[in-house]
Amino acid sequence: MKIIDRLNENKINISFEVFPPKTDEGYDKVASATDEIAKLNPAFISVTYGAGGGTSKNTARIASHIKDDLHVLSLAHLTCASSTKEEVRQVIENLKRLGIENILALRGDIPEGIQFPSNDRFRYASELIGEIRKHGDFCIGAACYPEGHVENEHKEDDIRYLKQKVDSGVDFLTTQMFFDNDIHYNFLYRIREAGITVPVLPGIMPITSASQMKKSVELSGTVFPRRFLSILDRFGSSPAAMKQAGIAYATDQIIDLLANGVKNIHIYSMNKPDVAAAIMSNLSEIIRA
């Protein structure tokens, strides 16, 4: 089944993201966490490609496990900056062979020590999307950035590039993490005005430790509202309290999104089934309402 078909069912869909192990030795631990998250009955589970594309083998392996053994829709990430065009084509063919129908197409971070752009690598996600379209009947997702991509100086350019990406064959979008829902609502208004009509899944990241917040800022450049900073200031030195507060904050974000008509929400679970379960428990009756 394709994810776009699930998103078009006009019901609330909560999905989760997991990331593959950096080494084969860590596979069982990640698989166990994924198994627990699958018990929460998510709409789908996405599997990241890993830093530098080095975990691509395990991305396909976990995505296949989710689909075949856990009977949950799986979404395999695919980045192109870290791989040659031929390597990308091999990954696409492998996903097709495994029966994985859903791909999240990303440019990805540019690894150190390689020449980029170059003729043997796709430069933009839109080029990767076009390549995936050539190789099969995949459902293709892509990323978007409510606060603007860090490499684009002007938000107008960001939306123009996003429109090009969607026009290349994107079925749905998933946002970068954000912590102020007004940013998301404003972003939706601007992209709809630009003619981008595909479903947009807000990406929610439960911040459960001070170190996780620091890493999130470094990776995405996201802005934390004063309300969240007050939580961090008060509870950041207590791991148990910060975990509970972070779960509550993410839950509050999701409730607000649902109350404002958003039906599809993606949670960056960071391979933490206990955090994912706590959020779903908080939403148990809200999802049914």
The answer to whether 73 touches 266, Cβ cutoff 8 Å, is: no
- Which CA distances in Å does 120 have to 52, 87, 136? 16, 10, 21
Q: Residue 215 — φ and ψ, nearest 5°?
A: -65, -40
For β-strands 102-106 and 139-144, DSSP reports them as: parallel
Q: What angle do CA 85, 147, 212 make, to 5 degrees?
A: 85
Burial class of 210 by CB neighbour count within 10 A (0 to 12, 13 to 18, 19+): middle
Listed in sequence order, the residues at least 6 apart from 237 whose beta carbon sits closer than 8 Å to its beta carbon are 210
User: How far apart are the C-alpha atoms of 232 and 236, rounded to whole Å?
Assistant: 5
Listed in sequence order, the residues at least 6 apart from 7 whose beta carbon sits closer than 8 Å to its beta carbon are 13, 43, 172, 199, 201, 264
Identified catalytic residue from 17, 127, 131, 147: 17
Active site residue 17: yes
Residues annotated as part of the active site: 17
